[in-house]
Structure 1
Amino acid sequence: MSNPKTIPDLDRFAFFHGLPPAFLQTWKRNFSRMSFTKRQRLVFPSSCSDVIFFVLSGKVKIAYTSEDGKEFAIAILSAGEVYSEHSLALATAIEKTEVLYVSMADFKAMMDECPELARHLVRLLGKILRLTNDLIVDLAFRETSSRLARVFRRTMQGKNDNAIYLTHEELASLSGSTRQTINEILRHWEQQGIVALHRGYVVLLLPERLWEKISHEYS
């Protein structure tokens, strides 16, 4: 059991918004924190067979790996985001990262105390399922440029600016493609004035052009 004084307030995470503050304060004792280095897989203590983790800082890639070693990422998590680690997808730190985590056993006890928490978990699991289904449909039916446009649109949701802080390598993983192919597509879009390329991020200058492309694809 962790010292609650070392655990930040849980209401910093949108996942817990709307839940009674008294519960949030008590639940802090169920959480632990861990740090991971760049490219390190997130592996938690063996006593926690399944966990839910919350990103405090850094970025985490959630990806499936095929038998031939090809990687298919479904999400890049940044500070404030949450993931339930009980699927076959692997979580890897893209950069130096710190997370909070809670075992599923403790989380179930928390749901017994506050049934409303179960609804929050259902929403999270639904989001993970949608991301996985989107990946399957994208790889089966959509060309790479359309998959990349969809990555941009998902990343833009809830943002107040048009900057996408993902590297070309991360965009390739999320699009189920190669870095070379993504570079070619981005350079083409830059020539058309749709995007501006910067080191480590992309700015969407004419996002409506990309959304128009998506709307014409099979869905």
Structure 2
Amino acid sequence: MARTKKRPFNVNVFLNTVDGGRTVATYRKNETVYSQGDPADSVFYIQKGKVKVCIVSEQGKEAIVALHQSGDFFGEGCLSGQPLRLATVSAMMDCIIMRLDKASITRVLREEPKFSEMFMSYLLARNARVEEDLVDQLFNSSEKRLARLLLLMANFGREGSPQPVIPKISQETLAEMVGTTRSRVSTFMNKFRKLGFIHYNGDLEVHNSLLNVVLHDNPHLRGRDR
């Protein structure tokens, strides 16, 4: 007998069948999904678009600590007892985002093993990425950090096919993500463009040759600052 091919678990299809506690909303570019200090009472799933996660310190200093894109969850801190949001999440482009209230997603995680397995795998992979980001911030030059950020935004090294064209993103935002100045980002971006690693004219196209900056300690490519 021929084997029946196992169908991959489709998160979008599954979440659209969740009974109750689910809403879908459209967010315009720069619109806030939730703000730092809001009640943490739900988990969000990005069906389309990209969002940024920002934290503001007591001194008023703002830092972008993460970017999420289609297929990502965010706001899951509520599941571990987090009472208030620790960050502000806003749309970087027009987005379609699903909100699942805490009670609904808790029930689904308990009753649906396939979704629970997928969700846990996602969280573990993202935790590994956070650790990589920390190592990157501590030990790599800002040039390498920028190259790695661009590759991650283009989906290199993640599941699924790379999406080398990144919607327009400001150099100020990139500088906040990398932890350097806008002028340094401008210098590195010009260097990457001249070396053929990227191309930009409105949208930003990232070529896999940019991996050379991350993988090789080449004096020709190395930035001097940390």
Question: TM range, normalised to the smaller chain?
Answer: 0.7 to 0.9
- Equivalent in 189, 192, 195 of residue 195 of structure 2: 192
- Equivalent in 159, 162, 175 of residue 161 of structure 2: 159
RMSD over aligned Cα, in angstroms?
A: 3.5
**Does 119-128 or 142-151 show the bigger shift?**
119-128
Matched position secondary structure for 1:206: helix
- Equivalent in 82, 94, 97 of residue 95 of structure 2: 97
Residue 117 of structure 2: aligned partner? 119
How far apart are residue 126 of structure 1 and its match? 1.7
- Equivalent in 35, 51, 70 of residue 42 of structure 2: 51
TM-score scaled to structure 2, two decimals?
0.70
**Does 194-203 or 140-149 show the bigger shift?**
194-203
Are residues 113 and 161 of structure 1, via their aligned partners in 2, closer, same or farther at CA, if it must alter by over 3 Å? closer
Q: Deviations over 1:55-88 (max 9, x none)?
A: 233321123344441313322x333332234273
> Number of aligned pairs?
199
Are residues 214 and 128 of structure 1, via their aligned partners in 2, closer, same or farther at CA, if it must alter by over 3 Å? farther
In 2, the alpha carbon distance for the partners of 1:148 and 1:102 equals 33
TM-score scaled to structure 1, two decimals?
0.72
CA contact (8 A) 1:73 1:175 kept: no
Q: Deviations over 1:159-185 (max 9, x none)?
A: 345333352344333322333221111
CA contact (8 A) 2:168 2:202 kept: no
- Equivalent in 26, 29, 32 of residue 38 of structure 1: 29
State the AA in 2 paired with 1:117.
F
Unaligned runs of 5+ in 1: 1-16
Greater fraction helix: 1
Are residues 208 and 79 of structure 1, via their aligned partners in 2, closer, same or farther at CA, if it must alter by over 3 Å? closer
Are residues 92 and 148 of structure 1, via their aligned partners in 2, closer, same or farther at CA, if it must alter by over 3 Å? same
- Equivalent in 66, 75, 78 of residue 74 of structure 1: 66
Unaligned runs of 5+ in 2: 1-7, 78-84
**Does 99-108 or 119-128 show the bigger shift?**
119-128
In 2, the alpha carbon distance for the partners of 1:41 and 1:173 equals 18
